Chains A and B, each alone.
Chain A
Amino acid sequence: MFSFCVDPASLGDFAWMACYLTTGKHMAIYTSVFTVLLLLAITAPTALAFGFLGASSARSHFAPLSWFGKAYIAIVRGVPDIAFFLFFVIALDQLFEWIRHEIKCPDWEADIWQGNDFVVCDIAKLPLGNSPQWVHETYGFLLAVLTFAIVFGAFAANVLYGAMRAVPHNQLETAESYGMTRRQVFWRILVPQMWVFALPGLSNLWMVLIKATPLLFLLGVEDIVYWARELGGAKTARFTDYPHGDWRMWYFFGLLVFYLLFTRVSEIVLDKVMQKLTHGQATLGGEAQRKAA
């Protein structure tokens, strides 16, 4: 990148390092940090939406809907989440391909489960076999985002369900006695008040979400873990201008520091938000603030 990088072998330690850390491959690892941030930016609101749907359907008076909501909340508690990650990525992919297959090739005779293979007709493949590389990567990333949203949606649903039950019940009864319908009670009384109760759980969830991002690697996305393994491995002078030994330890040390900083900053910001929200609330936290002032 720098003009003095023409002949790395002749450089001093510091200049060599500066050149080494700005090679094209290293740019890829810096961009993959943005992949992580993008994942967080898309997943957090989507998961919150899924969670809201899950929690409100668990409260529903229509039995099948409420069973569905409760099952969605309960299912993630007994099983390791990475099993869900590995499961949903394949299952969703097959689901999409199967739907496209049913629509696009209605006269396909053969079974789609042929022994140990999953076969759909060529035009139903996702993405199409002849599409460019970036389409494959984007599709993989979107599958990963959807998987994250489903799993974290269940966690968020759990938090929101608890928060909805924490809203004092006599508030709801008062609203009903004023003649509000169930829908009105839900939107005008319950939803605005539940956020204070949900925030500690949701901020915990945000920290967990940050710490779950390296699992993108398992879903086949070229994320920071992938690049740290690639770049850190021992390189000989035959393949690169910057030969070095096995540096994977140092790359992962870097990632460790990155995540520590990220969680620390989030913690500080969320504490600030919580302080703002509890201000003037009739809770223990609000009371403590009032006494301190």
Chain B
Amino acid sequence: MSCWETIADYGLRSIGIGERVLPREGYTLCQQFTLIGSGMIWNIYFGVLALCSGFFLATAVALGKASKNPVLQKASTWFIFLFRGSPLFIQFFFAYFLFLSLKPLSPIFDPFTSAWLGALIVLFLNTAAYSGEIFYGALQSVPRGDMEAADAYGMSGWSRFKRVTWPTMLRLAWPAYTNEAIFLFHATTLVYFSGFPAWQQRGDALYYASFFADKTFNPFIPYPILAFYFILLTLCIISLFGLINRRLNRHLPQESRAKMKLKLNIIR
């Protein structure tokens, strides 16, 4: 079987298109590359959707934590503490079993026990908490002069937020937020190891990598392939976020622009 046939058979295996039976023997390099790459579809799905939806909740949480209303402030602080203070791995397990015990109550909860929705919700809340904290920090360091200038122009309320506070907050938070995005994508590999079942062996990249490592007793091929894919993904994220960073900073002179500097945040 040539490599093109393998790609045609297994390229979309992780979303249920193509050959159903996973390879039983041989395990060629081509098969490993194709299947692990096909698993990346799920990593990208979880990462992109959680990031896009989490962004809005994160803004809301950051504003809540900075607000003067004690109820909002307490609620946001607790939300951030709950998701940043506990391991994501345990959050996945808890959410899965929570949805599992809600299932008998109503058929509405059926999709929640499968990974595509249940895990997505956990990732959404998790990234909202982490980025909420980042945005809150940025909100605290919005320069005083900017706000005074806005006041002087007669802006207030929504227009001041939309035109001054929010863009400045994003600009200041962006390097840290890029970092958060990278590690969110890394965190998506936990999904299929934490209770959520891989239905019909449709899993993410790490699921297939560990499948091959288990079958061949040779971890030196599948994991480096996985690493290759993730380094590629990380580079894509960095360049995409770099473009946005350029746009956010376009009004500033060259030397006072925020530099994209990657920091560690790692496991959640």
Known: A81-B266, A201-B264. A263 touches B186 (CB 8 A): no
Majority SS of interface residues in chain B?
Answer: helix
Contact (Cβ within 8 A) B86 A87: no
Contact (Cβ within 8 A) B91 A256: yes
What does the 1/0 interface line of A79-120 toward B look like (CB < 8 Å)? 111110011001100100000000000000000010011100
Contact (Cβ within 8 A) A214 B87: yes
Interface size class of B (residues with CB under 8 A): 35 or more
In whole angstroms, what is the CA distance A255 to B189 when docked?
21
Most A CB atoms within 10 A — which of B25, B87, B210, B226? B87
Contact (Cβ within 8 A) B90 A158: no
What does the 1/0 interface line of B216-245 toward A look like (CB < 8 Å)? 111110010011001100100000000000
Known: A212-B87, A225-B93. A90 touches B267 (CB 8 A): no
Majority SS of interface residues in chain A?
Answer: helix
Which of B89, B91, B216, B226 is close to A83, meaning CB atoms less than 8 Å apart? B226
Residue A290 at the chain B interface, CB threshold 8 Å:
no
Residue B215 at the chain A interface, CB threshold 8 Å:
yes
Contact (Cβ within 8 A) B227 A252: no
Chain B residues near A214: list those with CB within 8 A: 87, 89-90
Closest to B216 in A: A116
Interface size class of A (residues with CB under 8 A): 35 or more
Most B CB atoms within 10 A — which of A155, A210, A211, A259? A211
In the complex, how many angstroms separate the beta carbon of B116 from the nearest chain A beta carbon? 19
In whole angstroms, what is the CA distance A231 to B262 when docked?
42
Closest to B193 in A: A218
Residue A78 at the chain B interface, CB threshold 8 Å:
yes
In whole angstroms, what is the CA distance A86 to B223 when docked?
9
Contact (Cβ within 8 A) A90 B90: no
Residue B82 at the chain A interface, CB threshold 8 Å:
yes
User: Using a CB–CB distance below 8 Å, which chain A residues touch chain B?
Assistant: 76-83, 86-87, 90-91, 94, 113, 116-118, 155, 158-159, 201, 204-205, 208, 210-215, 217-218, 225, 228-229, 232, 246, 248-249, 252-253, 255-256, 259-260, 263-264
Supply 15 A–B pairs (Cβ within 8 Å), ascending by A: A78-B230, A79-B230, A81-B267, A82-B189, A83-B206, A83-B223, A83-B230, A91-B219, A116-B27, A116-B218, A218-B193, A229-B93, A252-B93, A260-B82, A263-B85
